[in-house]
Amino acid sequence: MRLSRRLALGAMALALVVSACSTGGGSKPTLKIGSVGFAEAKVMAEVYAQALEAKGFTIDRAGFGLGQRPVVAPAIESGQIDLQPEYIGSRLAYEGGTSGPDSQANWTALQPKLTAKNLTVLNYTPAIDTNAFVVRADTATQFNLTKMSDLAAVQTQLKFGLATDCPTNALCGAPGGALSQYGLTADTIAAATLLSACDVPMADALRNNTIDVAELCSTQPDIIVNGWKVLEDDLHTQPADNMAPIVRNDYLSKLSAADQDLFKKTLNDVSAQIDTATLADLYKQVDVDHKDLADVARTWLQAKGFVPAGS
């Protein structure tokens, strides 16, 4: 009897140890994470996934790179996925709102629209991926360019590369739009080379001196690789597109109160450490350096103490 009791107690202790050390999540339901298709969003999805795994959550990554917003938004609404890293300014516009340069205002306006769809947006990152007007370092030095307001006085000496929809887009060259607020004339906009913004041809044109000012995205890896200068949007004409996790409320409702708190705190703590330079670097490592997505995420999480070293 004594031996049997000792064995039984040992088995119970072992079970408790296994349960405590398990990363399988115990009673936590599997979390299905999805993302849009490009590397920046996928690396953020992986960062969130590994941070949660370190806290005992089980992750299904089948939705990584699922498609663009018209695909991913219905997927999280329907329950095909439970969580996605999202650009809150763009999502607000997608939901029929108007995004602006104030990150907090965008986040506040987005939440009621998501609540109606059984979704919650958690805290947003300091990182902002937004429309950016970029020049080469030599151009910035030659014309003393640091901000968008500096362009007006030298616009006739520069070749502009603008988005294909720029002439009709209020965030770009439409009458009364952002560029006109900076003093760029209709003639300057009409003479611009129109290319896909945030795309390879636009970056190539700037690199090859075909254009001197390029409309890119603020976290685009080409900016880091080439040492280009992002001009400050000193009149705040461009919407703030911070990233934040969006999660289904019915997933949260399946968690205990303690696990809900752990889930939200983990993601909010991670998001708080992602500034624009960090996001751009993570994006570059995956998209330009062709490093493994999981390795990039793990290295950053370990450096910040979210994942144990050697895991």
Q: For residue 38, name the pLDDT band (cuts at 50, 70, 90).
A: confident
pLDDT in tens, 171-217: 999 999 999 999 999 999 999 999 988 888 999 999 999 999 999 99
CA distance 184 to 174: 11
Instruction: Report all structural domains of the chain as residue ranges with CATH numbers, in order of start.
Output: 27-128+241-303 (3.40.190.10), 131-230 (3.40.190.120)
Long-range contacts of 93-101 (CB under 8 A, 24+ apart): 93/239, 94/69, 99/239, 99/240, 99/241, 100/239, 100/240, 101/233, 101/236, 101/237, 101/238, 101/239, 101/240
Q: Which two tokens stand for residue 30?
A: 């599997």
pLDDT surpasses 90 at 3:
no
* 126, 155, 178, 231, 238 from 148: Cα distances, Å: 22, 11, 10, 6, 11
User: For residue 136, what pLDDT band results from cuts at 50, 70 and 90?
Assistant: very high
Which two three-digit tokens encode residue 233?
Answer: 């949007």
Q: Which residues of 114-153 are buried (b: 16+ CB within 10 A; e: fewer)?
A: beeeebbbbbbbbbbbbbbbbbbeebbeebebeebbbbee
Nearest to 123 by CA among 278, 301, 264, 280: 264
With beta carbons less than 8 A apart as the criterion, state whether 66 and 35 touch. Answer: yes
CB 155 within 8 A of CB 221: no
Cα gap 266→277, rounded to integer Å: 21
Query: How, if at all, do strands 193-195 and 160-163 pair?
Result: parallel
pLDDT tens-digit map of 47-90:
999 999 999 999 999 999 999 899 999 999 999 999 999 999 99
Place of tokens 């209020």: 170
Q: Is the pLDDT assigned to residue 254 strictly greater than 70?
A: yes
